[in-house]
Amino acid sequence: MAQGFSREPGTRGPLPDLPPRAIRKITLWAVAIALGGFLFGFDTGVVSGALLYLKSDFHLNSFEQGSVVSVLLVGAAVGSTCAGTLADRLGRRRALGLVGVVFLLGTAVVTFAGGYGTLIAGRVVLGLSVGAASATVPVYLSEISPTAVRGRLLTLNQLMITVGILVAYLVNLAFAGGGTWRAMFAVGAIPAALLVAAALWLLPESPQWLIAHGRAERARSGIAALAGEDTADEIVRRAQQRIEDDRAAQEADSGRKGAGGARRLLAPDVRPALIVGLTLAAVQQLGGINTIIYYAPTIIQQTGLNASNSIFYSVCIGAINLIMTVVAVRVVDRAGRRPMILVSLAVMTVSVFLLGLAFVTGMNSLLTLLFMVVYIAAFAGGLGPVFWTLIGEIFPPSVRAEGSGVSTAVNWIANFAVSLAFLPVADAVGQGETFWIFAAICALAFVFVSAYVPETRGRDAEQIDRALHERFGRPAAGGETERAKTR
């Protein structure tokens, strides 16, 4: 449906008459789908609090503590890689339901773990689930969203990630007194159960997936219930056309029928989307966000402020992250993706450079804190949500799930690499200098985005594809170039 609610490929804008009732219904579905994002955030946040207590229960050394945190990232990289195939074979709805079931299983293993080995096994299972969720949610959201509000519905993913992080910090705070780390993990079963229930009883299958799998009639009746009969016919016709064009490109490219999936991602016509997806996935992490999110209390302590209550500081960071994401959700369909991500990267570059300078020169502690807050706010208002929005939008429908899967896997791998490298690099070259490395990466990302990332707001899949190819200096297959219109 992503490209469904707009008129002819050459024209802009959504159909004006989608009833508010339909928009409300789609928004409810989107919130349910984004529970997958909540699980992602919850798991990111809960482990820091739980670790404080389980390390003494299980007598964990520092390597073991680090592995309890990082095996989740490895599991997530694997989970997101497999998610594309899963979402294509089972459909988006069943794939997401399965994510919920696996999360419940992982939660049970971790909650009742009797020792380090079981704990690690449970964290890997949770990682598989969270990784698969993070790759499936943007695709599913993109395919149920009308063009006019697609940005807003896609940024719900990041909103739920940040809500999940904040809720986890609050859960940590609530259970900190008794040190009941098992209860901290167990709370994750609630959103996971809700996700399974939504997949079973609330969510519709993605119309795009139904049409691609020969069930156009079912897709049509679902769309007709929301948008009316005539509109439904037009949407289905265009989606079918788009899928046929995509398949023709696929066959021409591979020279044989049916070659698809991961191999298709390497086809020349998909390459611009792949380059943009993978680069944004890497820089979203290599810009250093999680070192600030995970190490904020330590950084605060080093500035000389009292950091005795580290969980309390985490809650403040989580709140800023959430507030700015709410702002992003509200403006993304008006301001557009490109300006948001460019402003975000510019402010991140300057603030993390100043943060580094503060460390190198031993600047005033309140100023240091201010730079950190500005950096997090800039990420949350742009690069954070807009990355997840774009990977749901830029890939052609036939490889959307696979494209989102590999981009998400790169995001998790880069997350893992930065978490591993941060402390050793900071020891070797200095903490301030490490922040300068992040500043340099953000600056390069700014240059990349201004050159290669097109605006996707208000555009259907075909227009986005054309705009991407224009940016890479080559016309899209089968379309006349529309430089002025699409850039």
Shortest Å, Cβ 376 to ligand BGC: 8
| Selection from 44, 52, 69, 58 nearest residue 423 by Cα | 69
Closest to ligand BGC by CB, 159 vs 461, is 159
Stretch that binds ligand BGC, among 232-240, 285-293, 443-451, 473-481 (CB under 6 A): 285-293
Tokens of 55: 């390390």
Under the phi-then-psi rule, with left for phi > 0, alpha for psi from -120 to 50, and beta for the rest, what region is 38?
Answer: alpha
Give, as ranges, the residues between 317 and 336 that touch ligand BGC (CB under 6 A): 321
- Residue 168 contacts residue 319 (beta carbons within 8 Å): no
Shortest Å, Cβ 45 to ligand BGC: 9
Q: Which residue is nearest to ligand BGC (CB)?
A: 384
SS3 content of the chain, % helix, strand, coil (to 5): 80, 0, 20
Shortest Å, Cβ 177 to ligand BGC: 26
Query: Amino acid letter at 464?
Result: I
- Any contact of residue 290 with ligand BGC (CB under 6 A)? yes
Burial class of 247 by CB neighbour count within 10 A (0 to 12, 13 to 18, 19+): middle
- Residue 264 contacts residue 398 (beta carbons within 8 Å): yes
Tokens of 387: 């990355």
Give, as ranges, the residues between 124 and 163 that touch ligand BGC (CB under 6 A): 158, 161-162
Closest to ligand BGC by CB, 113 vs 449, is 449
Contact with ligand BGC (CB under 6 A) among 154, 235, 293, 386: 293
Alpha carbons within 13 A on the beta-carbon side of 170: 11
Torsions phi, psi for 6 (to 5 deg): -110, 165
Give, as ranges, the residues between 181 and 240 that touch ligand BGC (CB under 6 A): none
Shortest Å, Cβ 44 to ligand BGC: 5
Closest to ligand BGC by CB, 165 vs 354, is 165
Stretch that binds ligand BGC, among 212-220, 235-243, 288-296, 398-406 (CB under 6 A): 288-296
Angle of helix 189-201 relative to helix 35-57, nearest 10 degrees? Answer: 150
Give, as ranges, the residues between 381 and 420 that touch ligand BGC (CB under 6 A): 384, 411, 415
Tokens of 407: 């981009």
Contact with ligand BGC (CB under 6 A) among 284, 368, 419, 434: 284
- Residue 28 contacts residue 199 (beta carbons within 8 Å): no
- Residue 158 contacts residue 37 (beta carbons within 8 Å): yes
- Any contact of residue 48 with ligand BGC (CB under 6 A)? no
Closest to ligand BGC by CB, 328 vs 461, is 328
Shortest Å, Cβ 460 to ligand BGC: 25
The string of DSSP letters for 364-416 reads -HHHHHHHHHHHHHHHHTTHHHHHHHHHHHSS-GGGHHHHHHHHHHHHHHHHH
Shortest Å, Cβ 419 to ligand BGC: 10
Shortest Å, Cβ 59 to ligand BGC: 29
- Any contact of residue 445 with ligand BGC (CB under 6 A)? no
Closest to ligand BGC by CB, 5 vs 446, is 446
Long-range contacts of 101-105 (CB under 8 A, 24+ apart): 101/192, 101/196, 102/128, 102/129, 102/132, 103/39, 103/129, 103/130, 103/133, 103/188, 103/192, 103/195, 104/189, 104/192, 104/193, 104/196
Contact with ligand BGC (CB under 6 A) among 3, 6, 44, 279: 44
Closest to ligand BGC by CB, 98 vs 161, is 161
**Rounded distance between C-alpha atoms, residue 32 and residue 174, angstroms:** 26
Footprint on this chain of ligand BGC (rule: CB under 6 A)? 44, 158, 161-162, 165, 284, 289-290, 293, 321, 384, 411, 415
